[in-house]
Amino acid sequence: MRAILTLAHLVILEMVRRKDIYVLFVLTALLTLIAAAANIFDDTRVVRYLKEISLTLIWVSGFVLAVTSAARQIPAERESRTLFTLLAKPVSRWQFIAGKFLGCWLACGLALLVFYAFFGAVALSRERSLDLAGWAQAISMHWFMLAVPVALALAGSLLWAAPSSNSTLTLVVCFGIWLLGRHLHKVALGLPEPRATLLTLVYFIIPHLELFDIRDLIVHRWPPVPWLFWLGALLYAAAYTGMILTGAWLLFRRRPLN
Amino acid sequence: MTEVIQIEQLVVTYRDTETRATRTVVDRLTFTVRPGEVFGFLGPNGAGKTSTMNVLLGFTHAASGSASIFGVDVRQPIARQRIGYLPEMTYYYKFLTAEELLRAYGRIFGLDDGEIRRRTDELLALVELEAARRRLIRTYSKGMQQRLGLAQALLNQPDLLILDEPTSGLDPLGRMKVREIILRQKAAGKTVFFSSHELGEVESVCDRVAILHRGELKALGPVGEIKHPADGNLEQAFLRLIGWPGAPKPASDAGPADHQPTAP
């Protein structure tokens, strides 16, 4: 476990020193502030509009950060050949994958906290109060959801060596699932066989990232989702992440490094 | 007594990505490295030295045969617990300082924080990087990075030090430092396994050498035994053993038997 935590620490340190997070944060903050300044609706609608824009930006930034940071981890280690010095130490390839995953996922969590804290401050300035339970659910579900893109990008980096192509593919898959995933089985109903069965299969196989999207709770100040549903969603993300990481390890386990 | 490195009938193959043909780069290699010796692993470029080292370090898997370190199969990560490894080029996280790098590696070796601090101080003093310990590695010169490499290789007080071309690209002072460290390890009863093209250096520090050519073991034994009386130095013996046409012909008959490795 110590090796995994050390690797995760190195990933976070690298991300902090590369300053990627700051660029994304500044961009998101800037757009949120611009949206907050555009006082084009009446008060209630402005707040709702502001929240929707900001949360969508946070979701998009979250995906971009998770995927781009995870996609470059293994290729960068190979390119700079730091992988060799590292794996010459008592570190198994499973620990290596797990450490990289944990580092990226924790860094995403830290970034989300900063994003949501900023967004919360802006929202609070307009609304005077926040529903903390709903916010806690939204943040934690968002964070757990990001474990899936991180794992996907890590696994993808073992299939596509170029981080740019891996990032693009993973982002397309993630955005596709997030925006269209819930409609796939309905689309399947209108298709001829065997496409209908294939699409239904895809619907049941893909990790449904849209399940974690409870932005409306914050936007409309709805009551929190049942805590059992919340727990189920976290376990669902953990199960998919575990499966994808196991796949990544199987790909990496016997791969020659030279 | 358990051999430090034991390699038996090792075969390493690579698949050519373009032709898809399988190429044998190490062919039925067998040798052992004994505790406390400085062992030189020699051969021209493409001889199979790096491939053998890659198997020992778990980077690649053998097509057949076996390799173990301190009796543990090299495929087990724990086999690398007692190893220090210095790669040919410097491959370290450039966004870290020397101190942070050694701390991270120390944790991977399972050392406690106090021990890591103590060894970091000691090693950075040894490689003369005390003054630069809090500077990012990306600001280091090549020589400084190579010295940091030595420090990280010695961090876990390894019983086996594996050095891949340790003096390549170093200035005379750096070379002297490497030699000093090899001899220091030897004096402490540790084992050193290293590849090098600097045959003069090998001759001066090695107890035994193995010479590899096109994946096959051409000679194995103490430098004195490998050298023919007519060879003069190890370089000439090396050229003769790999069959270089311009190599000096020994006075006595140099039949094929002379090229056979001595018993491990």
Q: What is the DSSP string of A87-119?
A: HTSS--HHHHHHHHHHHHHHHHHHHHHHHHHHH
Whether cis (ω within 30° of 0) applies to the bond prior to B261 is no
Pick from B92, B76, B74: which is nearest to B33 by CA? B74
Q: Which of B108, B148, B156 to mutate to test the interface with A (most CBs of A within 10 A)?
A: B108
SS3 state at B208: strand
Q: What residue of A is the nearest CA neighbor of B87?
A: A85
Q: Measured between CA atoms, how close is B72 to chain A, in angstroms? A: 13
Q: Which of A79, A84, A92, A255 to mutate to test the interface with B (most CBs of B within 10 A)?
A: A84
According to the model, what pLDDT value does residue B251 have?
52
Q: Domain B1-82+190-264: give its CATH code.
A: 3.40.50.300
According to the model, what pLDDT value does residue B260 have?
47
According to the model, what pLDDT value does residue B258 have?
39
Report CB contact under 8 Å: B95, A13.
yes
DSSP H or E segment with residue B69: strand B64-69
Chain A interface includes B138 (CB < 8 A): no
Q: Measured between CA atoms, how close is A162 to chain B, in angstroms? A: 17
Pick from B244, B163, B249, B228: which is nearest to B201 by CA? B163
Report CB contact under 8 Å: A90, B81.
yes
Cβ(A163)–Cβ(A20) below 8 Å = no
Chain A interface includes B58 (CB < 8 A): yes
Q: Which of B61, B91, B162 to mutate to test the interface with A (most CBs of A within 10 A)?
A: B91
Which DSSP state fits B130?
A: G
Longest dimension (CA), chain B: 61
- Residue ranges in chain A modelled with pLDDT below 70: 35-44
According to the model, what pLDDT value does residue A42 have?
54
Cβ(A174)–Cβ(A146) below 8 Å = no
Look at strands B83-86 and B160-164 and give their pairing. parallel
Q: B116-170 pLDDT, tens per residue? A: 999 999 999 988 889 999 999 999 988 888 889 889 999 999 999 999 888 777 7
SS3 state at B87: coil
- Range A121-157 burial, b when 16+ CB lie within 10 A, else e: ebbeeebeeebeebbebbbbbbbbbbbbbbbbbbbbb
Chain B interface includes A1 (CB < 8 A): no
Chain A interface includes B137 (CB < 8 A): no
| Least reliable range by pLDDT among A123-132, A176-185, B38-47, B99-108 | A123-132
User: Domain locations in chain B?
Assistant: 1-82+190-264
Facing B95 at nearest CB: one of A14, A91, A95: A14
CA distance B145 to B189: 27
Cβ contacts of A258 on chain B, cutoff 8 Å = 14, 50-51, 54, 59-60
According to the model, what pLDDT value does residue B259 have?
41
Residues 174-233 of B with CB under 8 A from A: none
Cβ(B178)–Cβ(B151) below 8 Å = no
According to the model, what pLDDT value does residue B264 have?
47
Chain B interface includes A80 (CB < 8 A): yes
Cβ contacts of A9 on chain B, cutoff 8 Å = 104
Retrieve residue B227's tokens. Answer: 């050298």
CA distance B85 to B149: 8
Chain A interface includes B109 (CB < 8 A): yes
Report CB contact under 8 Å: A90, B108.
yes
According to the model, what pLDDT value does residue B246 have?
67
Report CB contact under 8 Å: B61, A257.
no
Pick from B149, B151, B191, B193: which is nearest to B170 by CA? B149
Q: A85-120 pLDDT, tens per residue? A: 899 999 999 999 999 999 999 999 998 998 888 888
User: Domain locations in chain A?
Assistant: 2-253
Chain B interface includes A17 (CB < 8 A): yes
Q: Measured between CA atoms, how close is B112 to chain A, in angstroms? A: 11
Q: Measured between CA atoms, how close is A12 to chain B, in angstroms? A: 11
Burial tier of B252 (Cβ tally within 10 Å: 0-12, 13-18, 19+) = exposed
According to the model, what pLDDT value does residue A127 have?
73
Report CB contact under 8 Å: A90, B109.
yes
According to the model, what pLDDT value does residue A38 have?
62
> Is a pLDDT exceeding 80 seen at residue B89?
no
> Is a pLDDT exceeding 50 seen at residue B255?
no
Dihedral sign, CA of A48, A49, A54, A57? positive
Q: Measured between CA atoms, how close is B87 to chain A, in angstroms? A: 7
